[in-house]
């Protein structure tokens, strides 16, 4: 990771503790990041949180090293602080009376984050079970902790002593890693689980994929997609409720507006998820299994990763625009993806409802083009999962056999698209993480039109 130095010109808001003293200031920022765009966005958030209004970017981000601050005590101190904390900021202010120099100043933000309250609300939402079956009702009494990744033939197959590696989203761990997701060992009993179905409906609906290998049949494909969709709805609804709670408890204008903007985007995605679920509900309710389309990559080897997720494809594998996620007036098309146990090896399954074929077929055709042009399909599919799936379990034996450099490359990519300050490039699926997975696929089955 690189260290960037940049500087904003700012003025204090009325909530700023230096408002009556300082007329304005330069905010000098040292930011540990992968690219200058993210460094600016992250620094701007922190400066605004400390009750400053940004007038402009006085110095664009430049990559710096410790040598740049030799003989500069403040700069050297802040550079080293950024290596530990991820960021350091110093304000050089000028006084309202035009005479008094305020010099370098430290600040206290008027925003006092209620971390414990936030964690408590998160746990409350996570433990609020409900049955998402299309015929759910008063009969759904016993809500169970259901696995979204097949347990008996996948999680157990890749685990070691009942544990796997997975992305950690715990607040304490994120603080240690300066906000970056990291991979941590976790027991498989509680991994990928969610309180989204009652015992009766879970057993009744998912028997064809829980008790049987993937063949595939259209019914099995539809059920794998439905489970991925149900988990995402469960999680997104919890996020929305947590955001609403946080907004209700926040008085800081910048933080409140930030949360409102985040909530608006989350609501857009959530409403599209609910629309897709209604389509799948109807297909399952009336046994219209031919509503599903899929592409299945088959491998005769032992899996080293298990996963389940979904995506609104905005760019294809070559970087071409498929749909605009920022246009909240359009209906988004959706693809799901998961690993599935097969009688001889495992399968990497892409699937979608036929109503999403316009985008999803182009998405899959771009993958075929990449393969035709000589790109390794194992690298492409591995990159797709690491970049787009937090619901992912990694074999400890495989992970620990990787080099330190390879693990760092995966960690740098893993979950990066979920970080709020990281801009996503249109070519994010095109390259990266080559030669790491060792994945080989022996054949492909497709039901594409």
Pair (299, 353) in one structural domain? yes
Query: Where residue 177 falls among pLDDT bands split at 50, 70, 90?
Result: very low
Q: Are residues 249 and 126 in the same domain?
A: yes
pLDDT tens readout for residues 157-172 = 999 999 999 987 654 4
Residue 202 belongs to some domain of the structure: yes
Mean pLDDT of 404-425: 76
**Is residue 332 domain-resident?**
yes
Three-state SS letters, the chain: CEEEEEEEEEEECCCCCCCCCEEEEEEEEEEEECCHHHHHHHHHHHHHHCCEEEEEEEEEEEEECHHHHCCCHHHHHHHHHHHHHCEEEEEEEEECCCCCEEEEECCCCCCCCCHHHHHHHHHHHHCCCCCCCCCCCCCCCCEEEEECCCHHHHHHHHCECCEEEEEECCHHHHHHCCCCCEEEEEECCCCCEEEEEEHHHHHHHHHHHHCCCCCCCHHHHHHHHHHHHHHHHHHHHHHHHHHHHHHHCCCCHHHHHHHHHHHHHHHHHHHHHHHHHHHHHHHHHCCCHHHEEEEEEEECCCCCEEEEEEECCCECCCCCECCCCCCCCCCCCCEEEEEEEECCEEEEEEEEEHHHHHHHHHHHHHHHHHHHCCCCHHHHHHHHHHHHCCCEEECHHHHHHCCHHHHHHHHHHCCHHHCCCCCCCCCCCCCCCCCCCCCCCCEEEECCC
Over its C-alpha atoms, the chain yields an Rg (Å, rounded) of 24
- Tokens representing residue 17 in the block: 């503790």
**136 and 85 in one domain?**
no
Query: pLDDT tens digits for 376-399?
Result: 999 999 999 999 999 999 999 999
On the CB side of 302, CA atoms within 13 Å amount to 10
Write out the two tokens for 53.
């209004």
Q: Are residues 69 and 119 in the same domain?
A: no
For residues 100 and 119, state if they share a domain. no
| pLDDT computed for residue 289 by the predictor | 97
Of 82, 105, 128, which marks where a domain is finished? 105
Please give the pLDDT value at position 175.
Answer: 43
In a shared domain, residues 101 and 16: yes
Rounded to an integer, what distance in angstroms lies between the CA atom of residue 289 and that of residue 309? 20
Q: Is 72 exposed, middle or buried (0-12, 13-18, 19+ CB in 10 A)?
A: exposed
Higher pLDDT, 418 or 296: 296
Quick check: is 164 in a domain?
yes
Does residue 91 share a domain with residue 151? no
- The total number of structural domains in the chain stands at 2
d(CA 418, CA 320): 21
Are residue 91 and residue 131 in the same domain, yes or no?
no
> Residue 171's pLDDT is what?
46
Q: Please tell me the pTM assigned to this model.
A: 0.85
In sequence order, which residues have a C-beta less than 8 Å from that of residue 206 and are 6 or more positions away? 146, 223, 227
pLDDT tens digits along 42-77: 999 999 988 899 999 999 999 999 998 887 778 899
Q: Is residue 187 scored above 70 in pLDDT?
A: yes
Considering the domain architecture, whether residues 150 and 174 belong to the same structural domain is answered as: yes
Can you give the pLDDT at residue 174?
44
Same domain? For 98 and 119 the reply is no
Same domain, 132 and 33: no
Same domain, 85 and 156: no
Question: CA-to-CA distance for 340 and 338, rounded, in angstroms?
Answer: 6
Q: Domain of 387?
A: 115-446
CB atoms within 10 A of CB 230: 23
Distance of alpha carbon 208 from alpha carbon 231, whole angstroms: 18
């Amino acid at each position: 990771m690189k260290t960037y130095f940049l500087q904003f010109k700012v003025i204090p808001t009325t909530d700023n503790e230096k408002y009556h003293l300082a007329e304005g200031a330069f905010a000098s920022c040292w930011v540990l990041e992968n690219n200058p765009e993210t460094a600016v966005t992250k620094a701007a958030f922190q400066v605004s949180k400390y009750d400053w209004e940004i007038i402009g970017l006085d110095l664009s981000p430049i990559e710096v090293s410790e040598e740049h601050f030799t003989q500069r005590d403040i700069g050297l101190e802040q550079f080293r602080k950024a290596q530990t904390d991820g960021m350091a900021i110093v304000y050089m202010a000028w006084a309202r009376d035009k005479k008094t120099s305020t010099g370098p100043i430290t600040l206290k933000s008027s925003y006092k984050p209620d971390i414990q309250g936030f964690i408590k609300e998160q746990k409350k939402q996570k433990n609020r079970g409900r049955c998402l079956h299309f015929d759910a009702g008063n009969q759904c009494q016993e809500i169970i902790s259901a696995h979204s990744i097949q347990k008996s033939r996948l999680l157990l197959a890749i685990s070691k002593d009942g544990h796997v590696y997975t992305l950690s989203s715990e607040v304490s761990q994120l603080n240690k890693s300066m906000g970056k997701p990291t991979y941590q060992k976790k027991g498989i009993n509680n991994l990928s689980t969610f309180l989204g179905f009652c015992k009766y409906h879970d057993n009744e609906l998912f028997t064809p994929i829980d008790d049987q290998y993937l063949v595939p049949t259209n019914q099995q494909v539809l059920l794998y997609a439905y489970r991925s969709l149900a988990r995402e709805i469960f999680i997104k609804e919890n996020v929305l409720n947590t955001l609403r709670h946080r907004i209700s408890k926040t008085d800081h204008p910048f933080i409140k507006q930030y949360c409102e903007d985040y909530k608006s985007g989350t609501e857009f995605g959530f409403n599209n998820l609910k629309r897709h679920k209604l389509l799948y509900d109807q297909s399952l309710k009336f046994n219209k299994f031919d509503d599903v389309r899929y592409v299945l990559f088959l491998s005769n080897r032992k899996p080293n990763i298990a996963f389940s997720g979904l995506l609104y494809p905005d760019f294809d594998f070559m970087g071409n625009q498929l749909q605009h996620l920022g246009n909240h007036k359009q209906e988004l098309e959706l693809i799901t993806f998961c690993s599935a146990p097969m009688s001889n090896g495992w399968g990497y399954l892409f699937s979608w409802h036929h109503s999403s074929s316009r985008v999803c077929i182009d998405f899959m055709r771009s993958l075929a083009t990449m393969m035709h042009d000589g790109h390794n399909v194992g690298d492409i599919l591995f990159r797709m999962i690491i970049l787009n799936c937090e619901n992912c379990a990694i074999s400890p034996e495989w992970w620990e056999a990787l080099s330190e450099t390879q693990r760092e490359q995966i960690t740098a990519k893993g979950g990066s698209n979920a970080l709020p300050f990281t801009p996503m490039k249109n070519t994010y699926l095109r390259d990266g993480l080559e030669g790491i997975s060792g994945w080989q696929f022996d054949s492909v089955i497709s039901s594409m039109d």
